[in-house]
Structure formats: structure tokens, C-alpha cells
Amino acid sequence: MTRRELSLTLMGAAVMSAAERGYKQLFNGKDLTGWRLVKGRGKGYVVENGVLVCPEDGGGNLFTEKEYADFNLRLEWRLWDGGNNGVGIRAPLEGDSAYVGMEIQVLDEESEKYKKGAGLKPTQMTGSVYDVFAAKSGHVKRNGEWNRNEIEAKGRKVKVTLNGVLITDVDLDTVKDEAVLKKHPGLARKSGHIGFLGHGTRVEFRNIRVKEL
């Protein structure tokens, strides 16, 4: 390696280090320390080769033991045909997190499985605040490719970035419909647990880290 190449490598590492400053790992790659399984199904969640796995015969809700209010969450996930999961934010431990908290959708939205009948609603696409705000679709890497996902909840604003593209940027206070507010009391929550919401399909997660804001 030349001196210039070494310099560029060190500069790149410094930039990466600065970009990750303040983030704490939520998953140690070995076990589920710091997590709590609620309404587990089958195996629940398992660790395989340093990766957090929701197996096809497992699932349920896996929550952080700690609660978070304003935060930036970074993680990577991958799925296969028909994969379906979600990231719960500001959620309580009990109840349906998509309603009593908020769920950021994780879905193989291009699967033929979801094109049957009426198909998916815009608010069911990956990155959507489930059933409330629609994300820009078409940015999911499929068939076992890793997706880079960033979720920021700051006050009443929620942003979701997928593979470098901002696909959701919303203000929760813009929801005025009383029926929606009644159906989704979690929109009013200021803090809660972060979690993975398994739906009986294999989805894998890694590099899960959070920075409190």
C-alpha cells in the first residue's frame, strides 16, 4: 500500500468513526442480553453466526429492555420471498405495537404473495409508519441482500432512510382524523421500547445500534 493509499484509508476510517460517534450497540452478536421476548412464537428469536434471526417457525415481539424517547436507530436487515417483520418504536410491552406504539414496516413488498387480491396499501410498504403514513416504495433489496436502514424519532417527527434514500419524513401532529387517532393511540406516546415484530417468516438483523438524541 502506498503512502497516499494509506492516508486515504485512514481518512475514510476517521470519517466512519465520526459518523458512528454516540451510537451504542443494542445487540452483542452472542445472545439476547438487553432484550425481552413478548408473546413469543415457537423458537422466538435466535442468534446464528452473530446475526439476530427471526426464524420462519419463530417470531413474536422482541423488545429492548430499555425505553427510548428521541433517538436515531441504525441497523441492517435482510429477507427472502414474502418476508415480513417490523421495527416497533416508542412501544409498550403489551398490546399490538402497530397501534399502541408505532411500527415501521419491514416487508418484501415486491413478492407475488402480496400482490394477490387488492394488494398492499401504500401504508403497508416498507418504511411506512404502519397504517398511518406511506413510505416511498421500491427501495428494498430482496432475496437475502442486506438493507441499510435508519430510523429517527425526534419529538413529533419521524424519518426513515433505506439504503441511502429518505423514504419517510413525517410530522405526527399532522394526523387530525379522530378515527385514526383513536385506532392509533401510540402516535401520542413520547417514549417506549424498540422492538422487532415477527410474522412467521425468516428475517435477519445485524449491526443494530442507537443514539439517543
Residues 79-90: tens digit of each pLDDT:
999 999 999 999
Q: Is the dihedral of CA 163, 169, 172, 175 positive or negative?
A: negative
189 dihedral zone (left: phi>0; alpha: psi -120 to 50; beta): beta
Q: What are phi and psi of 147, to 5 degrees?
A: -105, 135
Is 103 part of a structural domain of the chain? yes
Rounded to two decimals, the pTM is 0.90
Is 114 part of a structural domain of the chain? yes
Is 6 part of a structural domain of the chain? no
pLDDT grade for 9, boundaries at 50, 70 and 90: very low
Is 46 part of a structural domain of the chain? yes
Separation of alpha carbons 83 and 53, rounded Å? 12
> Residues 90, 69: contact at Cβ < 8 Å?
yes
The pLDDT tens digits of the residues spanning 16-43 come to 578 899 999 999 999 999 999 999 999 9
Kindly state the cell numbers that stand for 59. Answer: 417470531
Give residue 139's domain range.
Answer: 24-212
Is 96 part of a structural domain of the chain? yes
Is 102 part of a structural domain of the chain? yes
CATH code (residue 32): 2.60.120.560
In Å, what is the CA distance from 21 to each residue of 162, 181, 212? 20, 36, 11
